[in-house]
Amino acid sequence: MVNLPSKPPLGEILLEAGLISIKQIRIALEEQKRCDLKIGEILAAPGWIKQETANFFAEKWSTIIQQPPKRPLAFYLLAAGLLTQEQLIILKNIQKQKNFKTRLHSLAVEQGYIKQETVNFFLRYLYNLHNIQKLSFTNLYELIKKHINGNVNFQELELSQVSLNGVRLTRVILDDSKLRQANLNNSNLSHSSLIEVDLTLADLELANLSHVNLKQAILIDVNLQNSNLEQANFQAANLQEADLRGANLRNASFAAADLRGAKFTPAYSYDVYYDNKTIFDASFNPTKVGWKLRGNEERW
């Protein structure tokens, strides 16, 4: 069987199962510091999860995964309160119409009853399906918990493909971390250090990255549309195919950055900086759109 760490925090389990968002767990952890409630009770109160679901993972999950599964997946989804009896009847009727060619959990995803991410979680831990990738939810949960308690240094974290949508992580150090394909839409990472971070294919639309140090970061094919990049430092960063349309680039520096294939707003009414080592497409004229050439002084 796949082994979880001994009794991982409930919030970490729910995150990995795709049942709550990182924004919700942050709110719950902050609330827990102010009251004497269990994290499951706090998450259930606004209806983010059912209390039945919280109880299942808090009280039964660690025991269930320590023994071979004896029941079909639908049994465990029902036990966790993730499917209702009525939904199960509907799914079985649909399955009959398809001559039982489609599994119930696949139909549950098709009908919008449950996320594929949640199904994958159960398959991985109950049926030992290693081909389904396990993301670094322990790192993600610990990062949020420690940040709430005042920690800011999180270098060399593995957070590829995780969702940090809407999260607030200001003034943190994430140097040398991996956030490939991470969802950072609407997040706030202002005044942080992301030196040599790998953000390949990450979604940073509407993110606040003002005053962020992205020196030598990898931002290939990253989505930075409508993000706030004021005074961001992209020195020697790789932004090939990055989408920066609509982004606020006021006083941002692209010294020695690779911008081949990058997409920009047609013109700028404020200062954006580059130097003679910055690499552009031959068709892109930075001075024509309002960028300013300056020397190679170190900004950070």
24-70: pLDDT as tens digits: 999 999 999 998 899 999 999 999 999 999 999 999 999 998 886 67
Pair 197, 287 in one domain: yes
pLDDT, position 161 = 77
* Cα separation, 29 vs 33, whole angstroms: 7
pLDDT, position 6 = 57
Q: Whole-number mean pLDDT of the chain?
A: 88
Pair 178, 267 in one domain: yes
Contact present, 72 and 61 (Cβ < 8 Å): no
Alpha helix positions (H), the chain: 10-16, 22-32, 39-44, 51-55, 61-64, 73-79, 85-97, 104-110, 116-127, 137-148
pLDDT, position 134 = 44
pLDDT, position 72 = 80
pLDDT, position 273 = 97
Average the pLDDT over 107-127 and give the result: 89
Pair 161, 78 in one domain: no
Of 127, 144, 178, which residue is a domain's last? 127
Using CA atoms, how far residue 163 sits from 21, 99, 137, 203, in Å, is 8, 37, 10, 10
Range of the domain at 274: 152-300
Radius of gyration over every alpha carbon of the chain, rounded to an integer in angstroms: 23
pLDDT digits (tens, 9 = 90+) for 197-225: 999 989 999 999 999 999 999 999 999 99
**Quick check: helix, strand or coil at residue 181?**
coil
Pair 183, 100 in one domain: no
Using CA atoms, how far residue 85 sits from 93, 112, 144, 191, 261, in Å, is 13, 15, 36, 49, 52
pLDDT, position 96 = 82
Encoded tokens for 58: 């808090």
Amino acid 79 reads A
Angle at 93 (CA atoms; ends 89, 95), nearest 5 degrees: 115
Pair 69, 161 in one domain: no
**Residue 180 reports pLDDT greater than 50:** yes
Average the pLDDT over 124-131 and give the result: 68
Q: Answer with the residue of higher pLDDT: 209 or 160.
A: 209
- Show contacts of 225-233: CB within 8 Å, 24+ apart: 228/190, 233/299, 233/300
**Residue 2 reports pLDDT greater than 90:** no
Amino acid 191 reads H
**Residue 261 reports pLDDT greater than 60:** yes
**Residue 127 reports pLDDT greater than 90:** no
Q: Answer with the residue of higher pLDDT: 158 or 190.
A: 190
Domain count for the chain: 2
Give the closest residue to 182 by CA, choosing from 231, 230, 219. Answer: 219
* Cα separation, 235 vs 294, whole angstroms: 13
What contacts 278, CB < 8 A, 6 or more positions away? 254, 255, 256, 257, 259, 286
Query: Does 263 map to a domain?
Result: yes
Q: Answer with the residue of higher pLDDT: 235 or 158.
A: 235
pLDDT, position 298 = 45
pLDDT, position 10 = 94
pLDDT digits (tens, 9 = 90+) for 286-300: 999 999 998 654 444
Q: What's the CATH number where 178 sits?
A: 2.160.20.80
Query: Does 105 map to a domain?
Result: yes
